[in-house]
Each structure stands twice: as C-alpha cells, then as structure tokens.
Amino acid sequence: MVVYLIGAGPGDPELITLKALKVIKKADVIIYDRLINNKILEYAPEDAKLIYVGKKPGGHSKTQEEINKIIVEEAKKENIVVRLKGGDPFIFGRGGEELLTLKSHGIKTKTIPGITSAIGVPTAASLPITHRGLATSFTIVTGHEDPTKGKKQVHWDYKADTIIILMGVGNLKENTQEIMRYRPADTPVCAIENGTTEKEKITFGTLEDIHTKNIKPPAIIIIGRIVNLYKKIIKEDP
C-alpha cells in the first residue's frame, strides 16, 4: 500500500503535472479537497473510489482528524491512495500533518509537488512577484491562523518587498491594519479571486481600502510596489 500526496495546482486543470496525472490514472482511491478542479477527477479510473473531504470558510465537511483517519483506513484497504490537494501539499495544505499521521501507522508515502497558488495565480495573470530593481524578495503568509493554537505566529513585520497572503479574505481588514503598522497606508494591493480559472477576478486597492472592495474567497492578496508595475503591464498589454 502507498499513499501519494499530490498537489493539483492553483485551479486550471492543465497546470497539474504529468507525474501527478500518471498516478491519478491508476489510483484505487482519491481523497480530494474543495478547490480541486473536477476535470482532474475525470482522469481517474472508472472504478476508483472518490471521497470528498473539502473545507470552506464557515463549514468543513470533515475535520482534519477525520480526514487523517479516512486516509489511514483507505490506505490499509487499497493499493494506491491519492490524497489530492489544491496548490501544493506543503504550502498551507496541512500535508505535513497528514504525512506524519501516515508515517506513524507505518504507511508508505510519496509526494508529488504542485504549483502553489501563491505563485501560480499571480504569475498566470502576468503579475511578476519579483522584478529587478523593484522587488528582490517575497514572503508567503497565511491570513487565517488555526484559532486552536492559542498564540499567533504571524506578526506582519515582514521585510520582503512583496507580501503574498493566502486564505486572508475573512481577516483582510484586520490583517491589512496590522501591516499598516509597518508599511504606508497607500501601499498598493492586488486581490485575485478564483485565479487561473474562467471565474478569475482582479481587484486593485491599497492597504487602507482593499478590505472595502467586496472580495470573495478563494483569493490571493498581493501587497507591494510590484502591483504598480503590474498595472503598467496590463495597461500596455495589446
């Protein structure tokens, strides 16, 4: 038995890797998340067992503990189990927790990386997150920490030229107010909803007003001077 932790990419089904599809095509079980493009599941064998364990703001179909239990149970019954996760399994995908659980049960695992939405979404929209002379560094940070931790790890005093926030729509006002303690209120911000899909929507603002723009999840928030460069790029795009 073996469990494959596979990253499905940021949304566009064509952005999944060839290696991932090769495994999906022979999977006995696929345990998949909410943001997986259903077109990817069409590559699964007709008799493959598909198990939805998606999470969404305000409601989860399964807790993480329940998901871990399902993966272990299916791994013990089947030969090839695919744990299919949006983006990359180890970029805020809790892949590490699932990997540790499987290891504790003596279950063999393999990981196939995916394009994380933090990079794939802005670059697919032609937004460079680094640029010579303008942005030489970037930080990827969660906008929604696990409330059960009891102590916050995110302090928002990042020195990187570009800040990319994942899962930050629900706490957008709170997070941008925190960032304004360290950066000017007029720092440009860009939000990309449903990136790399037909429903993609791009919204511009500043740290001060981006929370008023009616942004809906899932969305990536990009903060920094690189956003002004992006405005120039799309303006000049023929």
Tracing tokens 């006995």 back to the chain, one arrives at 28
Examine the residue annotation and report whether 39 is marked as an active-site residue of this protein.
Answer: no
- Of the residues 1, 49, 55, 180, only one is catalytic, namely 55
Catalytically annotated residue among 12, 28, 33, 161: 33
Reply yes or no on whether 33 is catalytic. Answer: yes
Candidate list 12, 28, 161, 167, residue with the active-site label: 167
3-state secondary structure the chain: CEEEEEECECCCHHHCCHHHHHHHCCCCEEEECCCCCHHHHCCCCCCCEEEECCEECCEECCCHHHHHHHHHHHHHHCCEEEEEECECCCCCCCHHHHHHHHHHCCCEEEEECCCCHHHHHHHHCCCCCCECCCECCEEEEECCCCHHHCCCCCCCCCCCCEEEEECCCCCHHHHHHHHCCCCCCCCEEEEEECCCCCCCEEEEEECCCHHHCCCCCCEEEEECCHHHHHHHHHHHCC
Q: Return the exposure string of 104-137: e unless at least 16 CB atoms fall within 10 Å of the residue's CB, then b.
A: eeebebebbbbbbbbbbbbebbebebeeeeebee
Clarify whether 55 is annotated catalytic: yes
Query: Catalytic residue positions?
Result: 33, 55, 167
